[in-house]
Structure 1
Amino acid sequence: MCSHRQPSLLDASCDNFVHDLAALSPTTATSLGIPGFDGELEDFSPEYHAAVADRTREMMADLDALDDCTDESDDDDDFDDVDYVTAAVLRDRLCLELDLHHNGEDLRELNNIASPVQTIRDTLVLMPHETAEQVDAIRSRMSKIPRALDGYKRSLLEAASHGAVAASRQINEVIGQCNALADGSLLEGLGVNPEAPEVEGAKRSFEEFSAWLSSELQPQAPAHDAVGRERYERFSKLFVGDAVDLDEAYEWGLDRVAEIGAEQEKIAHQLYGAECSPRTAMRKLNGEERYTLHGREELVAWMQATADRVIAELNGTEFDIPEQAQTIECLIDPAGTGGIFYTGPSEDFSRPGRMWWSVPAGQDTFHTWQELTTVHHEGVPGHHLQVSASLLQDDLNLWRRAACWNSGHGEGWALYAESLMAELGHMDDPGYRMGLLDAQKLRAARVVVDIGLHLGKQMPDGSGIWDKAHMKTYLREHTAMDDANLAFEVNRYLGWPGQAPSYALGERLWHQTRADALAQGMSPKEFHAQALALGSIPMSILRETILN
């Protein structure tokens, strides 16, 4: 994936922007694999958020100045085709981020999956601890947790002074996560002596922060979970990467759930006879030993073998997978939250891309009929291929390659990758096909429950307004999730509005864009290669760039 394109002034400005953000936000540096900051930790204070916003405004000013110098001549300062896309992506993403800052969304951020407590926890898990130097970096970062939680507390207090407090349910979730960290099993397993003052100080800080949340913030928290249309539209544009007609998307989600349900009925009959329902078929599939894994070691071995096999089978046929991307590492996440996720490689691939399964306590049986499609989503042709392909684009600057992430593009691609594997014949087994449909139905159901709850819509049967109880009932009816994962997922939707629908809505945009590209004469392989080479950009800009 080499290129002869010389970096532009805009590229240099973007590279400087990423390195400045890495200094401001060391956890971002760790995530991106930028060295030199692993022993540091941002403090999540109002001053921190203001500094990030100031640097973002400076980047926008640089873009405006460089754009003003561009004309129709062939001067070196002029934008080329890559710069024009970069400029469009910058304006879209950075303006949205500044809008969120101006509305205080960064100060009030608190939920069960993507707020500072999880950032601190997850970056520690991501860090290696094989060498003395690596352990020292973890020790140093741990020593800064008290200051970080104090700064986070000040941000939450400032937001609360304006009446902006997370819902009570989300505070309860974070209290539980802080208590788990205070108990120490995770913090004591990162290579640092469990009796070291840094470990003890970090545990004590999480305990104190939990108590503060309970005694000081919780009494100010609203009981209702819905954020309302105005805030939801802001989040939706951020996550999907395109303007969404929310009312149309809600109706589409309902139709899609029904459509998938009809296909599941056919597979249930194929598997177990004409009287078998999809729910009964799923229970029967769980009872089949050929689809069953016992214990975490067997789960990890299966994940790894499956991911490796898919890479070997797709390379050179549907995709040309670079050598660096042919390695993926499958691991158990010690947090035990119930989520499954991917973390990208470092820029030089010295740290490989990783697929993590955060197995809840007590779960030791896993069903491959349900999870094969998850490996495709997180691995190849999903996130691992997508993120690796972007990192290896030499004609893109560091911000485009590594730092810019749009959920509708990224999660939409990973969900599209699941359906693509079915198109390519990898999901013909009816059990695995049922698992794929279950995953697709979950993502469509997310569109319904997320928009339905946060916009205060009526239930489809007219029985009342969407609330948490209705969400759980609807998801139980339409998915095969166990109760532990279901509880985590529902709280995630309540506390991270607009993110969950970006999967299905992003996939929808991927399918629409591919159909139009093929109609213009592109092959599927050409479309995939060209689209992934652009990095994770908003879907509206992807469409404008790919299509004639």
Structure 2
Amino acid sequence: MSQNHDARDPIFALSDDLVEAFAAQCPADATMAGVPSDDGAWNDWSPRGAAAWASTLASFQERLRALPPPLRGPEAQWGRLARRVMADYLDERLDDFRHGEHLRDLNNIESAFQHMRVVFDLMDTRSAAGWAAITSRLSTLSQACDSYRASLEEGRRTGNVVARRQVRAVVEQARRQAGEASFFSTLPAAYEASGVATSEGHARLASGVERARAAFGELAGYLEQTYLPSARAADAVGEERYLRLARRFLGASIDPVETYAWGWSEVHAIEAQMARLAAEIRPGASLPEAIELLMTDPARCAHSPDEFLRLMLERQQKALAELDGTHFDIPEPIRRIDVKLAPPGGPLGAYYVIPSDGFKRPGTIWYAPGDKQQFPLYEEITTAYHEGFPGHHLQCGLQVYLEDRLSRLHRFLVMYSGHAEGWALYAEQLMFELGYFERPDYVLGMLAGKLTRAYRVVLDIGMHLDLPIPRSAPLHAGEAWRYETAVEYLHTRAFLTLDHAHSEATRYLGWPGQAISYKVGERVILDLREELRRRQGTAFDLKAFHAKVIGSGSVGLDHLREIVLEDAGELAAS
């Protein structure tokens, strides 16, 4: 696309400079973000590397403040947006450094440790240059681990440590990648199948694989023998840190007590809906009995990973074809989507990876199903719409595509969970409203997903802020939250498998504030839709509303409200 935003505003050149600095100093993160960089290099995660990156961010903060005043008028709106997005990005990341978050960057799902493994999923495996970069990263993974360990050790020395539960989870993941079942051991076969293999390349790759496995083995040893004895016994992070991190994910502040109570009201409402639908699926059946039927009935399952992936891709393609031009305007590059199985050894579930710059790497849904070979479809249809189209794939793909209005920083480095996950959960609701859950099985699956997200609100806030379980709750009423209680709720009330329930509860405790972003974000988007519908009456345009919500890139929820209502000419009246 040609760039049509107002190039007179120097914010766009400054944004380009910041992305280039990011690519130079954080090359592994740049690969994950889809930004061209040295794909054979690693971040320096050490305290020295962190200080260097913080200094770079501070220098850009000064450069941003020194810019001339923004231009006026509607034609300059994108420049004003770019300025606010950069200011928020710099403030938030420098705040993380001030609070020492880089010294306790360790959890079971989203920390530098997982990035050191997942980055290989996103690298070029079709060219000789791509495999050379992979080999380089494999061979030098020990250096990345050393730099990462240096920051963890500084945190340990200063008492800035994570909980033991998170350490044990990462040790288990690291041991797997160091062992015979390691993802790294699959790379030689993939190299052979690439069509660019040479005998010399094989030898270098094999050596790199062994070095990478050894590096993760050494890191596991450090974590288990040195770090774990110093780790915190308590899982909860407390109110101050929780609310700070929640605001970081949401781009908005919450009243935790009100949100906790609202989360419970959502739980009760969704459970009542599910109970009524269960009787429709199997007359006379209780909700657990209906779920058991949907989980085990062969006629309601895919019977191999290949069949499952095919069905999920077909579902994406059908929705894309039918909704283009009616509820969304879908640019050509976004009409391509990949669906893949994630390598084993990580947390269970599904996740989405954004396209790379220029869409050379398409947007991809990754499924991590564990060791199951039968895939109950009732719960997967709603996940397909959430992770794919019109959820993350549309929102994130559009953000990458809109180079005519969004700064490069905004397109690749800015993502608020409240906006992203709120939109994806809203997308599930929208597809229900549009009739894309054609069987009651799939509607129940959508409600089950909503129930899990509602339980995330009460579990995340309840555990970290030590709020009591309400007297009206179905289990352990009036008691304090414990890890085991959260697992019991997720397993028996949200119908997750026991392994998945353990993985989820560990995730909430290690990634405080993120789990609430789904329902809180959906709440804001639905409230905005109803507010506009009420004010605009018959003039309300659903397609235009969608364009407003995702057409300005990912922003904080407070900022989103301003954009939607201001563009509608409504903000002054609110």
TM-score, length basis structure 2: 0.91
**Secondary structure, counterpart of 1:147 in structure 2:** helix
Q: Deviations over 1:415-465 (max 9, x none)?
A: 110011011111242110000000001001000000000001112234421
Q: Does 1:498 align with 2:504?
A: no
Q: 1:416 to 1:319 in 2, by over 3 A?
A: same
What amino acid is aligned across from residue 299 of structure 1 in structure 2? F
Return the offset for 1:187.
0.7
Return the offset for 1:73.
7.2
Q: 1:231 to 1:126 in 2, by over 3 A?
A: same
**Secondary structure, counterpart of 1:198 in structure 2:** helix
Partner of 1:125: 121
Partner of 1:224: 234
Return the offset for 1:487.
1.7
Q: 1:71 to 1:474 in 2, by over 3 A?
A: closer
Q: Does 1:480 align with 2:498?
A: no
**Secondary structure, counterpart of 1:426 in structure 2:** coil
Q: Which moved more, 1:389-398 or 1:509-518?
A: 509-518
What amino acid is aligned across from residue 70 of structure 1 in structure 2? P
Partner of 2:474: none
Equivalent residue runs for 1:435-514 within 5 Å: 435-461=445-471, 462-514=477-529
Separation of aligned partners in 1, 2:71 and 2:312: 52
Separation of aligned partners in 1, 2:455 and 2:507: 14
Partner of 1:183: 179
Equivalent residue runs for 1:348-497 within 5 Å: 348-360=358-370, 362-393=371-402, 394-461=404-471, 462-497=477-512
**Secondary structure, counterpart of 1:196 in structure 2:** helix
Partner of 2:547: 529
What amino acid is aligned across from residue 307 of structure 2 in structure 1? E
Separation of aligned partners in 1, 2:53 and 2:141: 19
**Secondary structure, counterpart of 1:341 in structure 2:** strand
**Secondary structure, counterpart of 1:306 in structure 2:** helix
Return the offset for 1:352.
0.7
Q: Which moved more, 1:519-528 or 1:202-211?
A: 519-528
Return the offset for 1:252.
0.4
Overall identity of the aligned pairs, in %: 36
Q: Which moved more, 1:36-45 or 1:491-500?
A: 36-45
Q: Does 1:95 align with 2:91?
A: yes
CA contact (8 A) 1:315 1:321 kept: yes
CA contact (8 A) 2:34 2:354 kept: no
TM-score, length basis structure 1: 0.95
Q: Does 1:70 align with 2:80?
A: no
Partner of 1:61: 62
CA contact (8 A) 2:350 2:368 kept: yes
Q: Which moved more, 1:188-197 or 1:537-546?
A: 188-197
Separation of aligned partners in 2, 1:73 and 1:114: 40
RMSD over aligned Cα atoms? 1.8
CA contact (8 A) 1:340 1:357 kept: yes
Partner of 1:251: 261
Q: 1:122 to 1:524 in 2, by over 3 A?
A: same
Partner of 2:531: 516
Separation of aligned partners in 2, 1:477 and 1:58: 51
Separation of aligned partners in 2, 1:263 and 1:538: 31
What amino acid is aligned across from residue 69 of structure 2 in structure 1? T
CA contact (8 A) 2:25 2:44 kept: no
CA contact (8 A) 1:89 1:538 kept: no
Separation of aligned partners in 2, 1:441 and 1:88: 35
Separation of aligned partners in 2, 1:424 and 1:408: 23
**Secondary structure, counterpart of 1:480 in structure 2:** coil
**Secondary structure, counterpart of 2:103 in structure 1:** coil
Q: 1:208 to 1:73 in 2, by over 3 A?
A: closer
Separation of aligned partners in 1, 2:387 and 2:303: 21
What amino acid is aligned across from residue 132 of structure 2 in structure 1? D
Separation of aligned partners in 2, 1:289 and 1:414: 29
Partner of 2:194: none
Q: 1:401 to 1:71 in 2, by over 3 A?
A: closer
Q: Deviations over 1:371-414 (max 9, x none)?
A: 10000001110000001111121121111112111110011111
Q: Does 1:149 align with 2:145?
A: yes
What amino acid is aligned across from residue 528 of structure 1 in structure 2? H
What amino acid is aligned across from residue 285 of structure 1 in structure 2? L
CA contact (8 A) 2:177 2:345 kept: no
Partner of 1:136: 132
Partner of 1:35: 36
CA contact (8 A) 1:328 1:353 kept: yes
CA contact (8 A) 1:445 1:478 kept: no
Unaligned runs of 5+ in 2: 192-200, 472-476, 570-574
Separation of aligned partners in 1, 2:312 and 2:244: 37
Separation of aligned partners in 2, 1:335 and 1:132: 26
Partner of 2:270: 260
Return the offset for 1:310.
1.3
Q: Which moved more, 1:190-199 or 1:311-320?
A: 190-199
Separation of aligned partners in 2, 1:378 and 1:188: 28
CA contact (8 A) 1:14 1:59 kept: no
CA contact (8 A) 1:179 1:207 kept: yes
Equivalent residue runs for 1:193-342 within 5 Å: 193=202, 196-273=206-283, 275-337=284-346, 338-342=348-352
Return the offset for 1:3.
6.0
Partner of 2:195: none
Separation of aligned partners in 1, 2:314 and 2:290: 27
CA contact (8 A) 2:6 2:79 kept: no
Q: Which moved more, 1:379-388 or 1:476-485?
A: 476-485
Separation of aligned partners in 2, 1:47 and 1:464: 45
Return the offset for 1:71.
6.7
Partner of 1:4: 4
Separation of aligned partners in 2, 1:460 and 1:150: 46
Separation of aligned partners in 1, 2:340 and 2:72: 52
Q: Deviations over 1:174-194 (max 9, x none)?
A: 101111111153112233748
**Secondary structure, counterpart of 1:80 in structure 2:** helix
Separation of aligned partners in 2, 1:294 and 1:152: 41
Separation of aligned partners in 2, 1:163 and 1:178: 23
What amino acid is aligned across from residue 180 of structure 1 in structure 2? R
**Secondary structure, counterpart of 1:34 in structure 2:** coil
What amino acid is aligned across from residue 475 of structure 1 in structure 2? L
